Amino acid sequence: MDSATADVAHDFYPWFRVYTDGRVERFLESPLVPPSLDVRSKDIAISATASARLFLPIAAAPNEKLPLLIYIHGGFFSIESPFSSTYHGYVNSLVAQSKVIAVSIQYRLAPENPVPACYDDCYAVMKWVAQHKDCAHRPGLDPWLSEHADFGKVYLAGDSAGANLGHNMVVRTDGDGHWLKKFSGLVLIHPFFGNEEPDKLWEFICSDSGGVNDPRLNPAAHPCLLSKLRCEKVLIFTAGLDQYKQRGCTYYAALKKSGWEGAVEIENAPGENHVFHLSDPTSDKAKAMMKKVASFINPANMPPLCEKEAGCAINSA
């Protein structure tokens, strides 16, 4: 069959379409960009399927220890990359503002690589990062992490599907001796979680789905797992016009009720859509969100929000 005339077999627009000849067409993707110069950055191949872009502030002094941020990009498990202009720009700006060292994870995308490939790739990067803890230089390790990462201040963050992956990495690393007893914090921006209704996209891209209450998809349905979340604090962002807003609110409520002993905070941006901060990063609300995240992961480096900034995006959900 001619690829140009193939029929649509599965339509998940605006994320992707799968045609009867096996071709996958993606939408909403940003162009790829090289590592930057304003904040030092470089790309690292970690395994045959996983890689990352590392970011280090130019202002970092030799051997200066900085909080470590592990960032996981969104895109409904099927589009985008840490190398795209969208995510490179966001993490680059966050590193510059917060003065942290960051690892932005590249994972395999669905539907060609069904779930759990993305979870496995993120975990592979997490294990690689953890090898730098208390280690001198040796083959396979990166000197930026060995010299500058403070493993007493490790944060995970992600948006949309990346927030889902971030939560699951905290859960999955439980019992991994490389990591500390607790992560310092978890940032969930407009998280993509499930609810009690079937999700056609998840069912299509997941090769081992446990249904609507799969703990990877719907953590709110598993209070026992939430109660053991190895994280000191959690910051959740929602957006007023986001169709997934209630998923973040449900996670927040379930975490509070689970008996978990950490601190959880939720912020809502009224009148905004899903991941608005990426599509319009110069807006007042996006700038206020950026400053909130930066102060969460490195409060020692950040002045408090001014009155105007606090009024832009900081609202009770």
- 150 has catalytic annotation: no
DSSP assignments along 257-292, one per residue: HTT--SEEEEEEETT--TTHHHHSTTSHHHHHHHHH
Contact criterion met (CB below 8 Å) for 178 and 133: yes
- Which residue is listed with tokens 């910051």? 235
Kindly list the domain boundaries of the chain, sorted by start residue: 31-313
Beta strands 101-106; 149-159: pairing state: unpaired
pLDDT band of residue 3 (cuts 50, 70, 90) is very low
- 120 has catalytic annotation: no
**Which residue is catalytic, options 242, 258, 277, 295?**
242
- What pLDDT, on the 0 to 100 scale, is given for residue 294? 97
Interacting residues of 258 by C-beta distance below 8 A, sequence separation 6+: 223, 224, 226, 227
Q: Return the closest-CA partner of residue 238 out of 252, 257, 254.
A: 252
- What pLDDT, on the 0 to 100 scale, is given for residue 30? 78
- 160 has catalytic annotation: yes
Domain 31-313 CATH class label:
alpha beta
pLDDT over 50 at 1, yes or no: no
174-192 per-position pLDDT tens digit: 877 677 778 999 999 999 9
**Which residue is catalytic, options 84, 98, 160, 258?**
160
- Average pLDDT over every residue of 147-164: 97
21-57 per-position pLDDT tens digit: 888 888 777 778 767 667 999 999 999 999 999 999 9
Q: Is the dihedral of CA 276, 278, 279, 281 positive or negative?
A: positive
- What pLDDT, on the 0 to 100 scale, is given for residue 315? 57
pLDDT band of residue 93 (cuts 50, 70, 90) is very high
Spatial distance between the Cα atoms of 201 and 199, rounded to a whole number of angstroms = 6
- What pLDDT, on the 0 to 100 scale, is given for residue 313? 47
226-254 per-position pLDDT tens digit: 999 999 999 999 999 999 999 999 999 99
**Which residue is catalytic, options 88, 132, 148, 274?**
274
Q: Return the closest-CA partner of residue 293 out of 98, 20, 3.
A: 98
For the chain, what percent of residues have pLDDT higher than 70?
90
Spatial distance between the Cα atoms of 262 and 140, rounded to a whole number of angstroms = 34
| Torsion angle defined by CA atoms of residues 95, 99, 103 and 104, in that order, rounded to the nearest 10 degrees | -10
